[in-house]
Amino acid sequence: MFLYKFGDMGVHLFIATIFLLNGYIQLSKRMLVIQLLLIAYLFLITSSYSRSGMLSYALGMLVFFFYSKNLALRKQMVQALKFVPLFFILALPLYLSTNLEENFQGRSLSLNQLKQNATSIFVSADDGTSLSDNKVWRLVWWASIINDTFLGPDFWAGKGLGMSLAETAGMKYDPTEGDLRSPHNFHLTILGRFGVPLFFLWLYWMFLHLNSIRKKELDPFLLTVYVVTLVFLVNASFDVFLEGPMGAFPFWTFVGIGYAIEAFHNKNEPVPTHES
């Protein structure tokens, strides 16, 4: 589990949690408790090393709760909130006793690191830490891509595939990141590599795809699938995720499942249940 990329882990922890809440994964009470403890433990680890993993998980839960039409499930989620602190308290000794090395960004497993990661999402700290430096180099790189495409020579076709976007931008803003090819934002990767027209086409597709979440008569399982794809896209906005098969394969699989369900609805055919 610790060889898993921590931002990606946040996405898959959300998938496991939401499938458990909806009853799509059936477990005995003992196994359910063990599963929830593992999720709490791995969420603490994910949140220590990846702000995008933490944010993706939390935002996915909020969106699902807000748009779910299942009042019984929403009530169950509210009631479950009182047990969340208990699971985190039970998982805390295992978390604090886990011996993982400090990563290349200087992040480690500690309560202070959790606090810094959570607060740094919403506020900027001019404290010279890797968290604030990390924000700066990303924003500078993103600004360079936007400048080269919207105002520069890469408007129509971008820079293309193959080369490192860091090298072509002359990036020397964060040597601790090592050799980077993509700017930790899939949307800006599309902009930088393919240009402005395809970038706007991608934005339009995302709007059409995610706007389905707001449909009043949306199938409960289809809502789950669409929120899962939203969580993928949120994590991909801050991490190198959909550029490789580890993120792209499950993401486009969920997209395909969603469109298959919609096709059944449009033909007025019975939709296969999760049991089938």
Type of residue at 93: P
Q: What is the pLDDT of residue 160?
A: 87
In a domain, 37, yes or no: yes
Query: What is the per-residue pLDDT across 231-241, written as a single tens digit (0 to 9) for each?
Result: 999 999 998 89
In a domain, 35, yes or no: yes
- 173 located within any domain: no
pLDDT tens-digit profile of 42-69? Answer: 999 888 888 889 999 999 999 999 999 8
CA 204 vs CA 15, 32, 47, 210: distances in Å: 25, 40, 31, 10
Who has greater pLDDT, 104 or 117? 117
Q: What helix, strand, coil percent values describe the chain, rounded to 5?
A: 70, 0, 30
- 134, part of any domain: no
Task: Tell me how many domains the chain contains.
Answer: 1
The radius of gyration of the chain from alpha carbons, rounded to an integer in Å, stands at 20
Count of other CB atoms within 10 angstroms of residue 113: 17
Task: Give the DSSP per-residue string, 120-175.
Answer: HTTS---S--HHHHHHHHHHHHHHHHHHHHHSSTTTTT-S-SSS-HHHHTT--S-G
Q: Is residue 10 part of a domain?
A: yes
Domain with 43, as residue range(s), is 6-123+195-266
* More confident: 49 or 208: 208
Residue-averaged pLDDT of the chain: 84
Q: Which residues does 159 contact at the CB level (< 8 Å), separation at least 6?
A: 148, 165, 168, 192, 193
pLDDT category of residue 275 using cuts at 50, 70 and 90: low
Predicted pLDDT at 175: 44
Inside any domain, residue 52: yes
Entry pTM: 0.87
Say if 80 falls within a structural domain: yes
In-domain check, residue 230: yes
